[in-house]
Each structure stands twice: as C-alpha cells, then as structure tokens.
C-alpha cells in the first residue's frame, strides 16, 4: 500500500523573504482550516514577516496509521522552526489514539500554557465586565502523563505525577510573567487538603518561589472554592498558576465567562520553542459553515508575533481586532441583539479586521506590546538535593473478588513475619481491616500495608520474599508501593480512618 507523506514543507508560492521568521503552521481539523485561513489573511495584510512551513496533523494523519496524529517528518519542521501556529484538531475517541495536543506539548517540553481571559465590555456580552485574568497552567505533568492501567475487574487507575522541578518551573514562570507584564498578584490553586503529597508539593514549591518575589502579592486557594470565587468575582484575580488538569478546566470556564470560548488564544511555552493555539477545540458541528469565530486563533497569533519580536505588527492586528469588536461586527457565537451591529461569518470577520488595520479602539484599552523584543523569563530551577531515604514497609495491592476484609486479613496474617507484617487493609483508600465498618463498600482492589513488626528498616529482599510468599499462597498481587521516610519524614499517605 502506498501512503502519501502528510508533510508539506514551505508551500508558499511567494519568494522567501530573508528577514521573515520561519514558523510551522498546521490547519488542523473541523473549523481549523477556515479559522487558520482567516488568521493568515489578517497576518499577511498586516505585513507580518513570516516564512510559513505547513505540516499536516490530526484526523487525516491518524487515518494514515500514525496513532500519534503527527508524521515523523513533521517533527523536523517543528524542531527546526521552534515556533508553531496550530489550529485545533479532532482527537479520535477511544482506540489507541493519544491526544496529539498532549503529545506535542510534552515531546517539545512546552511546560507552560498561558491563557489570558479578558472581558471586552461593553461590546461583548459577558458575566464579569472587569475580568482580566491570565491562567498559567502546568502543561506536562499531573494526570496528563496518561499512565493508566486497569488493575482488577472493577478498578482502573490513572497516575497523577507532580514533580518538584516541574512545579518550580511553572511557579517561577508565573511570577516572571507577572513581573514582565506588570501584574500584581499570583494565586495558586490546588487541592492539597486532600492530595497532601502531590498537590501539597506544588503548593509548597509555590510558597518557596513566591518568597523570591516579595513585590508580587501571592496567595493560595483550594481549587474548589477558588474556582467558585473565580466564576463569581474574577476581578479579584490577576495571574493564576495551577496544575495541569485544574488549569485545563478552569481556563475553559474562565474564557467562557468573557463571552465565548471562541475568543481565547493561548501560548504553550518551552525553553526556546513555543506553540500558539486557540483555547477551543475543532468544533465539528459548525465546521465548514463559515460561522466559526477566528478570534481565538488570531489572538494566539498575536501572542506569537510578540514572541518572535514582531510586536508592532501584533499591536496593529490587536487594535484592528478590538476596533472590529467595538464596531459591533461579531460572529454568531458573540452576537447579541443589543450589542451587534452586523453579524458576519468567519471570512467577513477577517475582512472587517483587515479593513481596520491601522485603526485603534476608541473605548477599549489599545494594545501596547514591548517592542524591545520578548522579555527573557528566568525559569531556571534549583538542583534537587537528595534526601536520606529509608524504607519502612510496603503497600501491596491485591486483586481478590468476593473476599471479606476479615478473611483477607487472616490470609495476609498467614504470610506475615517479623520483617513484614500486615498492619492495615484499605479499599478505595478507606481502612476496612482491622476493625472496619460493615457499611463501607468494597471493590475487588485492596491496598495491604505491611511494615516490620519492630519498626526496623525494610530491605528490597524482604519485600521480594513477601511477594514470593504471597505468590505461593495464590494471592494475586498487582502492584507494590514502597513506604519510605525522606529525611526521617513519612512520605506516604495514611489510610482514611487509620
Ligand atoms: P470545542 O471547543 O470544539 O467546542 C465547544 C463548543 O464551543 C461547541 O459548541 C462549539 O461549537 C463552540 N466553539 C468552539 N470554538 C468556536 C469558535 N471558534 N467559534 C464559535 N463557536 C466555537 O470542544 P469539544 O466539542 O469538546 O471538542 C471537539 C474536538 O476538539 C474534540 O475532538 C476534542 O478532542 C478537540 N479539542 C482540540 C483542542 C486543540 O486542538 N487544542 C482543544 C480542545 C478540544
């Protein structure tokens, strides 16, 4: 079977301009091609000096058998140009497909996802006229490692990984961003009242980094109440930094509060490499109808122009766009009887922006970007100082259907010895043995905590011996987690009720 290469390099029929910045562009799926066309027309009309290399990603590439959604050759363009303007793509549901967005972000080390969420009051209907919040989302870690396993008939697991260097880099980026953009406060959102080790690490690192920026106010919110506050009083926030999953959810909600998910652009920043995209997805139901709002991708392109040192062009485009919005020329998603003078399609919206190039908004704040080139943000991280680590036990996870906690406890007492002795069994994190409650619902997935009977350190060999005894007893162990002290402090969670 012959396959066509999905990589199309330098399709521009113009003579390359040596002063132009090479960028990689992907038109994506769904509404992607039409909003990318609109965006590129505006960039071109504004005089952006770009040498465009186009690659194909997304649905067609998946169909050609590349389960990552991107062909190997396309990586060469991304790694060479180091600037990527990307339209949304459709991630196939189910199957072995990984999200290409996550793959690109992680493969290229794009650790920071920056999402400005700004209301354009009184020209676009919104829930909070004063809203002007930038969400800095950690982009590589958390549950987005995509490390998942079905462990028993009844239980699947997703690993949430939070690292000290990852947390330090994103928190430092948030503070550096605040300084460079004259913002006054950085708020950290986590759920460390529940996830004390993972979110607790993120919060702890945030506090450490915050102490190096005394001129910037800092605060921490538990994510649930923080999100509630953001949705009712966003004017109280300035920059928000948060782990990956919370940031993903929060930024969609925040941009929707400004009027439409179609308005927001985002930057994915790595060291020396960056990707710019709309916050929203490929919106398949409205694809090909010429009704999609190209503003999200256009705003991302404006961020890209600032990043590559074409701030004057960025300003020209942003001001023309603001003026278009002010003049009531709106796409369907932001159209309202009261505020819209003319409802237009994607193409006509682009034409309206082009028509206004050179104009500035009359009421909205005109754009003003740093024309000295992009600010250098220092996101260096401190080397990790290894702790003194000692092992004091092991959690063995067991798959056993139709067993009572007492029967399981008895079976595990039979394989215990002085080196490693069963101390506690939990089910879904709740202690069920010894002295569990009959009301507690149990699945077929048991976390069985073994420790030495006299609080002695435990060796790898002792754990291997325990697993050998479990295997000989026909007990199906499915995973182990060592219980360690780091510099003498327990580095594992207690069971609920322990
Ligand atoms: P979506 O953002 O595509 O759509 C959500 C809603 O917003 C829909 O009602 C849609 O019509 C509307 N909308 C989105 N963009 C708009 C625009 N520019 N103008 C007007 N209305 C707009 O989210 P979804 O439906 O959950 O996802 C669709 C596909 O996009 C999925 O395959 C998903 O995996 C993918 N996706 C891709 C990206 C990306 O490429 N960065 C991000 C999110 C989702």
Per-residue pLDDT in tens (0 to 9) along the chain, 498 residues: 333 333 333 344 445 566 899 999 999 999 999 999 999 999 999 999 999 999 999 888 888 888 778 888 899 999 999 999 999 998 877 666 777 888 888 889 999 999 999 999 999 998 899 999 999 999 999 998 889 999 999 999 999 999 999 999 999 999 999 999 999 999 999 999 999 999 999 999 999 999 999 999 999 999 999 999 999 999 999 999 999 999 999 998 999 899 888 999 999 999 889 999 999 999 999 999 999 999 999 999 999 999 999 999 999 999 999 999 999 999 999 999 999 999 999 999 999 999 999 999 999 999 998 877 667 788 889 999 999 999 999 999 999 999 999 999 999 999 999 999 999 999 999 999 999 999 999 999 999 999 998 878 999 999 999 999 999 999 999 999 999 999 999 999 887 767
Report d(CA 22, CA 497) in Å as an integer: 59
Structure tokens at 278: 């709309």
| pTM across the whole model | 0.90
DSSP-derived 3-state class of residue 72: helix
DSSP-derived 3-state class of residue 325: helix
Rounded distance from Cα 29 to ligand 1 centre (Å): 10
- Hey, how many other C-beta atoms are within 10 angstroms of the C-beta on 311? 21
- Whether 62 and 3 have beta carbons less than 8 Å apart is answered as no
First-to-last C-alpha distance (Å) of the chain: 61
Does the beta carbon of 248 sit less than 6 angstroms from any atom of ligand 1?
no
Report d(CA 400, CA 155) in Å as an integer: 11
Does the beta carbon of 383 sit less than 6 angstroms from any atom of ligand 1?
no
Domains and CATH numbers, the chain: 2-378 (3.40.718.10), 389-490 (3.30.70.1570)
Does the beta carbon of 277 sit less than 6 angstroms from any atom of ligand 1?
yes
Does the beta carbon of 59 sit less than 6 angstroms from any atom of ligand 1?
no
Report d(CA 79, CA 253) in Å as an integer: 32
* Burial of 383 from C-beta contacts in 10 A (0-12 / 13-18 / 19+): exposed
Report d(CA 221, CA 271) in Å as an integer: 28
Question: Distance between alpha carbon 477 and the CA centroid of its chain, in Å?
Answer: 33
- Hey, how many other C-beta atoms are within 10 angstroms of the C-beta on 455? 8
Query: Exposed e or buried b for every residue in 334-365, given b needs 16+ CB within 10 A?
Result: bbeeebbeebbbbeebbbbbbebbebbbeebe
Which of 87, 404, 118 shows the shortest CA–CA distance to 275?
A: 87
- Catalytic residue list: 144, 191, 224, 248, 252
Report d(CA 71, CA 292) in Å as an integer: 28
Q: Rounded to a whole number, what is the largest CA-CA distance in the chain? A: 82
Using left for φ > 0, alpha for ψ between -120 and 50, and beta otherwise, residue 90 falls in beta
Q: Over 419-478, what HEC string results?
A: CCEEEEEEECCEEEECCCCCCCCCCCEEEEEEECCCCCCCCHHHHHHHHHHHHHCCCEEE
Atom of ligand 1 nearest to the CA of 89: 40
State how far the alpha carbon of 138 is from the alpha carbons of 132, 190, 327, 357, in Å: 20, 12, 36, 35
- Whether 156 and 146 have beta carbons less than 8 Å apart is answered as no
Structure tokens at 170: 């994103």
Torsions phi, psi for 329 (to 5 deg): -90, 105
Among protein residues, the one with the nearest Cα to ligand 1's atom 36 is 281
Report d(CA 59, CA 400) in Å as an integer: 41
| For ligand 1, mutation pick of 34, 115, 261 (most atoms within 8 Å of CB) | 261
Does the beta carbon of 285 sit less than 6 angstroms from any atom of ligand 1?
yes
């Amino acid at each position: 079977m012959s396959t066509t290469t999905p990589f199309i390099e330098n399709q521009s029929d113009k003579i390359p301009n040596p002063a132009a910045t090479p960028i990689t562009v992907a038109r994506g799926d769904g509404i992607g091609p039409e909003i990318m066309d609109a965006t590129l027309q505006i960039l071109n009309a504004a005089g952006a000096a770009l040498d465009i290399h186009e690659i194909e990603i997304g649905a067609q590439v998946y169909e050609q058998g590349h389960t990552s959604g991107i062909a190997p050759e396309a990586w060469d363009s991304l790694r060479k140009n180091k600037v990527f303007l990307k339209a949304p793509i459709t991630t196939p549901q189910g199957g072995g497909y990984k999200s290409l967005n996550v793959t690109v972000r992680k493969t290229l080390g794009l650790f920071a996802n920056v999402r400005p969420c700004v209301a354009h009051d009184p020209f676009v209907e919104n829930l909070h006229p004063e809203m002007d919040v930038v969400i800095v989302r950690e982009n590589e870690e958390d549950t987005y490692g995509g490390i998942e396993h079905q462990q028993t008939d009844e239980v699947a697991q997703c690993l949430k990984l939070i690292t000290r260097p990852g947390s330090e880099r994103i928190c430092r980026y948030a503070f550096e961003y605040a300084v460079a953009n004259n913002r006054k406060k950085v708020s950290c959102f986590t759920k460390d009242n529940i996830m004390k080790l993972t979110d607790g690490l993120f919060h702890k690192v945030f506090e450490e980094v915050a102490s190096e920026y005394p001129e910037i106010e800092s605060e921490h919110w538990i994510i649930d109440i923080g999100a509630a506050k953001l949705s009712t009083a966003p004017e109280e926030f300035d920059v928000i930094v948060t782990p990956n999953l919370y940031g993903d959810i929060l930024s969609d909600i925040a941009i929707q509060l400004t009027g439409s998910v179609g308005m927001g652009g985002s930057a994915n920043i790595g060291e020396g490499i960056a990707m710019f995209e709309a916050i929203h997805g490929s919106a398949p139901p409205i694809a090909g109808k010429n009704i999609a709002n190209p503003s999200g991708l256009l705003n991302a392109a404006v961020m890209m122009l600032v990043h590559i040192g074409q701030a004057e062009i960025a300003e020209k485009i942003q001001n023309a766009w603001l003026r278009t919005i002010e003049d009531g020329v709106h796409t369907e998603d932001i159209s309202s009887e009261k505020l819209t003078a003319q409802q237009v399609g994607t193409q006509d919206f682009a034409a309206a922006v082009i028509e206004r190039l050179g104009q500035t908004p009359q009421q909205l704040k005109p754009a003003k970007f740093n024309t000295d080139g992009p600010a250098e943000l220092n996101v260096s991280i401190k080397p990790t100082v290894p702790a003194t680590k000692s092992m004091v036990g092991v959690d063995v996870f067991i798959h056993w259907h139709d067993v009572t906690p007492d029967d399981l406890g008895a079976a595990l007492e039979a394989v215990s010895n002085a080196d490693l002795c069963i101390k506690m069994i939990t089910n879904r994190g709740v202690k069920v043995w010894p002295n569990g409650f009959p009301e507690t619902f149990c699945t077929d997935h048991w976390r069985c905590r073994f420790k030495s009977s006299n609080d002695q350190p435990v060796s790898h060999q002792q754990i291997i011996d325990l697993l050998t005894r479990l295997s000989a007893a026909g007990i199906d162990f499915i995973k182990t987690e060592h219980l360690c002290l780091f510099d003498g402090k327990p580095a594992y969670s207690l069971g609920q009720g322990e």
